């Protein structure tokens, strides 16, 4: 998992605490192991957390603690999570609820969004996505005047992706410092796991807007029919399930920075509205009769080639030129030389401290493997490997036999049996598809691609050149037939 650096927060005790720091996040999750994981991640990022294992306990704690953010699993042992969410929003409509659901229940999450949820997370999700959702929810609450912690100081975003003394990263740092001082739109490109959101945070934190909100929105993780509401907001009663006003990410970022991740996944109709927003600096929530003026800086990112998306007709050319003012390309880890060793050692020290264990660095064989490995998952993959080592071992020097089993496979090694097996010819492969419908062929190809990439939908989506949300919707559709 990728850990976003912890925001600076003040800790208050005594009767005045609620006035000086945000109220604790309420986590409603019935699985003890997931409770522990979510709570640990949130605590490491500086959040206070209150935990409940049932709907009844969750509602009681909601009334007692009056949280501004609720993390809610939709599947609970004593009650439907969606019904619980509606009760909480009736009591406190300003609460931001992040619903958590499994792959097979995305339609339930969409229903929750229509009923007033702030955002949803589909299991499995990585640590960075999880923490971003929580920070976005806090930012939206702050925009409505709900107390939150003081803004972080410049430099907060210098996390794992920015460790390293390579020439490539020195150039990135210099470009961030120059771009941050202006109001120009920044367009960040790079492979998955290279730290694009951390780069966006660095631009924000080194800018005159550092004391304002930083609102991140993943355009590829939200269903297209809900994306307009997420960006521009909606008013109560504007559609079925809109039980309260929702400001939207653009309004929540007023006075700060709006980060649009996976910008190339945005639907064409919404691209038109985004272009109008950039030209007029006004937002009009769904169902509203009048627009409102906002002061927002736009930073966007994609792991695709944006110009290729324009050529394919997936991305508006005029929007591309409007956004592509200051390009920053986050280099893949394989092009950063010794940075991988610095990142791994820093992660080892941090994770060991979190787990209360003592490690003595990386053995020479591990260092050599890390240097020659291609790291297709970039910094995120390095952190996952080190986290695995720390969790599953007691300490001492990190040796080759401590590394995850699949690291050698990702390195490109092929098992002898696979090396001598003849690959099927194109004719044989085609023969297996003849007689099937186009929909059946699509399902076969998607399922085979997901299986080939160890069940990872995001990896399969990159290979198939579609967004992960597209694959999740297709999988959900197959489950209903």
In the chain, where the domains are located: 20-143, 160-329, 336-410, 423-480
Contacts of residue 429, defined as CB under 8 A and 6 or more positions apart, other chains included, come to: none
* CA torsion through residues 130, 106, 239, 115, sign: negative
CA distances from 384 to 249, 459, 467 (A): 30, 15, 23
Pick from 14-23, 30-39, 65-74, 177-186: least confident: 14-23
Pick from 46-55, 221-230, 286-295, 377-386: least confident: 221-230
| CATH annotation of 336-410 | 1.10.8.60
Confidence label for 10 from pLDDT (cuts 50, 70 and 90): very low
**Pairing between strand 119-122 and 292-293?**
unpaired
CA distances from 39 to 47, 50, 224, 392, 479 (A): 9, 9, 31, 20, 31
Q: What share of the chain has pLDDT > 70, as a percent? A: 80
User: What topology is assigned to 423-480 in CATH?
Assistant: Arc Repressor Mutant, subunit A (1.10.10)
Confidence label for 106 from pLDDT (cuts 50, 70 and 90): low
State the pLDDT at residue 461: 78
State the pLDDT at residue 72: 93
Q: Does residue 446 contact residue 471 with C-beta atoms inside 8 Å?
A: yes
**For the chain, what percentages of helix, strand and coil (3-state, to nearest 5) are there?**
50, 15, 35
Instruction: Decide if 20-143 and 160-329 have a common fold.
Output: yes
Average pLDDT over residues 195-211: 90
d(Cα 231, Cα 233) in Å, to the nearest integer? 6
Q: Is the pLDDT confidence value at 93 over 70?
A: yes
Tell which residue, 353, 371, 355, 351, has the closest CA to residue 363.
371
Tell me if the bond preceding 124 is cis, omega within 30° of 0.
yes
Domain boundaries 20-143, CATH class: alpha beta
Average pLDDT over residues 50-64: 91
Q: Which range has highest mean pLDDT (1-5, 88-92, 188-192, 463-467)? A: 188-192
d(Cα 110, Cα 120) in Å, to the nearest integer? 8
**Beta strands, E only, 322-441:** 326-329, 358-362, 395-398
Pick from 196-205, 322-331, 466-475: least confident: 466-475
CATH 3.40.50.300 describes domain 160-329: yes
State the pLDDT at residue 386: 93
**How many other CB atoms are there within 10 angstroms of residue 477's CB atom?**
13
Residues 432-462 pLDDT 10s: 566 677 777 778 888 888 877 767 777 787 7
State the pLDDT at residue 152: 37
366 SS3 class: helix
Contacts of residue 249, defined as CB under 8 A and 6 or more positions apart, other chains included, come to: 136, 140, 215, 217, 230, 231, 258
Q: What does R_g of the chain's alpha carbons equal in angstroms? A: 23
């Amino acid at each position: 998992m990728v850990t976003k650096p912890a925001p600076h927060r003040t800790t208050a005790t005594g009767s005045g605490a609620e006035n000086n720091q945000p109220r604790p996040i309420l986590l409603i999750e019935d699985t003890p192991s997931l409770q522990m994981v979510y709570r640990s991640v949130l605590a490491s990022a500086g959040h206070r957390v209150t935990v409940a294992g049932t709907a009844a306990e969750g509602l009681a704690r909601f009334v007692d603690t009056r949280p501004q953010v609720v993390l809610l699993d939709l599947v609970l042992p004593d009650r439907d999570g969606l019904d619980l969410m509606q009760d909480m929003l009736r009591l406190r409509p300003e609460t931001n609820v992040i619903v958590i659901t499994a792959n097979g229940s995305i339609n339930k999450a969409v229903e929750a969004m229509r009923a007033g949820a702030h955002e949803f997370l589909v299991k499995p999700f990585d640590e960075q996505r999880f923490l971003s959702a929580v920070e976005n929810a806090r930012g939206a609450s702050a925009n409505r005047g709900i107390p939150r912690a003081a803004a972080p100081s410049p430099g907060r975003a210098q996390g794992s992706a920015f460790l390293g003394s390579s020439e490539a990263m020195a150039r990135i740092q210099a470009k961030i410092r120059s771009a941050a001082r202006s109001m120009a739109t920044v367009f960040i490109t790079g492979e998955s796991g290279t730290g694009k959101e951390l780069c966006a945070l660095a631009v924000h934190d080194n800018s005159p807007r550092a004391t304002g909100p930083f609102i991140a929105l993943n355009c590829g993780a939200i269903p297209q029919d809900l994306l307009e509401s997420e960006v521009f907001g909606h008013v109560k009663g504007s559609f079925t399930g809109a039980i309260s006003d929702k400001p939207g990410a653009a309004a929540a970022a007023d006075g700060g920075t709006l980060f649009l991740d996976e910008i190339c996944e945005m639907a064409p109709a919404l691209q038109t509205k985004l272009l109008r927003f950039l030209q007029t600096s006004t937002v009009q929530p769904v169902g509203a009769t009048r627009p409102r003026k906002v002061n927002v800086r736009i930073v966007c990112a994609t792991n695709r080639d944006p110009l290729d998306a324009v050529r394919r007709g997936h991305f508006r050319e005029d929007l591309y030129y409007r956004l592509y003012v200051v390009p920053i390309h986050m280099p893949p880890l394989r092009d950063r030389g010794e940075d991988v060793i610095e990142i791994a050692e820093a992660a080892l020290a941090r994770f060991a401290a979190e787990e209360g264990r003592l490690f003595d660095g990386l053995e020479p064989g591990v260092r050599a493997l890390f240097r020659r490995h291609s790291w297709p998952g970039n910094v995120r993959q390095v952190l996952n490997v080190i986290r695995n080592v720390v969790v599953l071992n007691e300490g001492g020097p990190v040796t080759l036999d401590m590394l995850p089993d699949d690291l050698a496979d990702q390195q490109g090694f092929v098992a002898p049996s696979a090396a001598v097996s003849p690959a099927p010819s194109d004719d044989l492969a085609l023969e297996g598809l003849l007689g099937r419908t186009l929909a059946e062929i699509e399902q076969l190809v998607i399922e085979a691609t997901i299986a080939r990439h160890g069940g990872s939908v995001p990896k399969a989506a990159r290979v198939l050149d579609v967004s992960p949300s597209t694959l999740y919707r297709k999988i959900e559709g197959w489950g209903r037939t």
